[in-house]
Amino acid sequence: MKQAISYVRFSSDRQKHGSSVERQEGMIADWLKRHPDYEISDLKFSDLGKSGYHGEHIKEAGGFGKLLKALEDGFIRAGDVVLVEAIDRTGRLEPMDMLTLVINPILKAGVSIITLDDSTTYSKESVNTAQIFLLVAKIQAAHGYSETLSRRVSDSYKKRRKDAAKHGIVPRRITPVWLNPDGTVREDVAPWIKTAFELYVSGVGKSTIAKRMRESGVERLAKASGPGVEGWLRNKAVIGKWETLEGTPDHQVIDDIYPAIIEPSLFYKAQVHAEKMKTQRPIKTANHFLVGLVRCGECEKNYIVQNLHGKPHTMRCRTRQSQNDCTNSHCVPKPVLDTIYAQTSISAALEAVKQQQMGVNDKEIVTREAELLALTKSVENLTEAVKAVGADMPELIAALKQARVDRENAESALVILRSTVVSPVDGYWAEANKVWALEVDDAQRLAAMLRMVGYYITVNPNGEITSSHSHVVFRYIGVDRALNKYKLLAGEKLVLVGKDGWYVDYPYHEPFQAVEGEVTWDAEDYASLQAQYE
């Protein structure tokens, strides 16, 4: 049976919120009802928010590019048809490029293109007639329209940039969620955007941040998503800037256009963090505090929480739980791991809290690091451009030389700043109070901060439990049935841990005896020792 292959495209992000996709898919469905001799193919292609004028859609990653590859590989065969809303959905390139790069490969393979808006079929046979003139006319009209529109948009941007730069006039544009159309701040939204930045630089994931935004009770944040949060984190409007035509020769950043809602240092710290995260495996922010902080010493995967009667009870290796592929069978009661965390995490927590604070020099360093990052990218892009065009564009070579000079100056400034850092000193107890406040108010954020400084607890296959920030070796040795407490060896101490997490230390002496690799307790000595502490 012959296949009908659907292709849907729109170019503007604004159309995502309209009916463009639904309309195009509805037209495809109506055509299929009228043509039962065709079956809809599993091959469906789309380019949502990609330009047909600049040819983004026919590149390797584009939907139409994938359609052409499927044709080349024989998945689309002679007799099949490609369904599109109109011929301009296939592209708005120059007429010669449209015919040679887009239309001809399809028709030459014996596959027809059907435009649903006017029920026209373009085939290899039909375009060899007078229909070719109609096709060329439509292609020319589509390209001409896009060319005119592009020129108008460019002229509009130039005027708005001029007004913004010279007169401080707020440009007319689609404003981010924390701004009204006139550029003023939405006071109910702005504090939450600042919170989103603070959470992100603390190590909390974008999806978790979006969930918190949805739970904020602010109506405009009720549909916040991970990609949406990512857009906020990159948007220079939060520090009052208007960035135009990024990635083009007319790219420009204009200062003091909008009210700044966060400090520049926080914005640039988020950019530096985002760049660092590109080289790291994404970490999902867990609901349970210890998940992500306790790992298996065998397979190095997380330990996960197991519930009993609806409450967290023990933790065990995720790999062994889900796949049984890990030999580490040690389950550890959660109160025991809470105790180990309490005894080993304070230095890591203080380090994590200190990382979130910045003195004057620290803030300047973060800003300069972000600027250096941008300059490095600029040098890389200009280098590639010079390689592509050779020496034919002296202004491009001059721009590359200047970018290299700017980068060297930025590197020198950073060296000087780093040698004169004066970090804020609040004192031990002030720092500790911040840690304890986070444990109560936002344990999820504290866990993310601890991961950023490399804190973790490792449960090893031999039963030893170690911490990245302590030299003490722990071992869970079972339950004292008489006292209804967990027994934990912590170096030279016996720690009795209650089911509620409270614990008491006892000296470790002769009553402990090693029997076949396990620790046992002599009942008589234990009773005598217990009496000394009660």
Between the alpha carbon of residue 74 and those of residues 2, 65, 70, 77, 397, the distances in Å are 14, 14, 6, 6, 45
| DSSP type of residue 299 | T
Q: What is the DSSP string of 399-430?
A: HHHHHHHHHHHHHHHHHHHHTT-------HHH
d(CA 142, CA 144): 5
CATH topology for the 2-145 domain = Rossmann fold (3.40.50)
Name the nearest CA neighbour of 220 among 252, 169, 185, 244.
185
For helices 190-201 and 206-214, the axis angle rounded to 10 degrees is 150
Pairing of strands 470-480, 485-490: antiparallel
Bridge partners for 81 per DSSP: 4, 112
Q: What is the C-alpha separation between 103 and 490, in angstroms, rounded?
A: 74
| Angle ∠(310,316,319) on CA atoms, nearest 5 | 115
Q: How far apart are CA 490 and CA 472, in angstroms?
A: 6
Looking at residue 97, its pLDDT comes to 86
Q: What is the DSSP letter of 285?
A: P
CATH topology of domain 170-277: Hect, E3 ligase catalytic domain fold (3.90.1750)
pLDDT of residue 504: 64
Instruction: Report d(CA 28, CA 189) in Å as an integer.
Output: 41
Distance in angstroms (rounded) separating the CA atoms of residues 178 and 463: 52
Cβ-in-10-Å burial (0-12, 13-18, 19+) of 221 comes to: buried
Long-range contacts of 121-124 (CB under 8 A, 24+ apart): 121/81, 122/87
Question: Which mean pLDDT values do the consecutive 10-residue runs of the chain (534 residues) have?
Answer: 83 47 81 89 76 70 86 91 88 85 92 91 90 86 67 54 55 76 88 93 89 93 91 89 62 73 83 78 75 92 90 91 86 93 88 68 66 77 70 69 78 64 52 67 85 92 94 92 88 84 56 40 48 43
Distance between CA atoms of residues 17 and 24, nearest Å: 14
CA atoms of 172 and 157, how far apart (whole Å)? 10
Alpha-carbon span 449 to 190, nearest angstrom: 23
How far apart CA 421 and CA 111 sit, in angstroms, is 67
Residue holding tokens 């309490």?
A: 342
Give the SS3 label for residue 295: strand
Secondary structure of 177-221 in the HEC alphabet?
Answer: CCECCCCCECCCCHHHHHHHHHHHHCCCCHHHHHHHHHCCCCHHH
Same fold, 2-145 and 170-277: no
Tokens of 20: 């463009």
Beta bridge partners of 175: none
DSSP 283: -
Which pLDDT score, from 0 to 100, does residue 47 have? 75
Sorted by where each begins, the domain ranges of the chain are 2-145, 170-277, 294-345+455-532, 358-418
Q: Which residue has the tokens 């296939």?
A: 90
- Reference 57, options 103, 17, 25, 89; nearest CA is 89
pTM above 0.75, yes or no: no
Q: Supply φ then ψ for residue 302, to 5 degrees.
A: -65, 150
Measured between alpha carbons, how far is 427 from 42 in angstroms, rounded to an integer?
Answer: 64
Place of tokens 């867990």: 286
CA distance 403 to 396: 10
What is the DSSP pairing of strand 112-115 with strand 38-48? unpaired
- The helix (H) or strand (E) run that includes residue 42 is strand 38-48
Placement of tokens 């950043």 in the chain: 253
Among residues 235, 224, 242, 223, the alpha carbon closest in space to that of 183 is found at 242
DSSP 58: G
- The DSSP element (H or E) to which 31 belongs, if any, is helix 20-34
Strands 81-84 and 2-10: parallel
- Report the residue count for the chain: 534
Residues 6+ apart with CB under 8 A from 403: 375, 378, 379, 382
> Which H or E element spans position 329?
none
Six-digit token string for 280: 């790291």
Token pair in block for residue 328: 């580490």
* pLDDT for position 163: 58
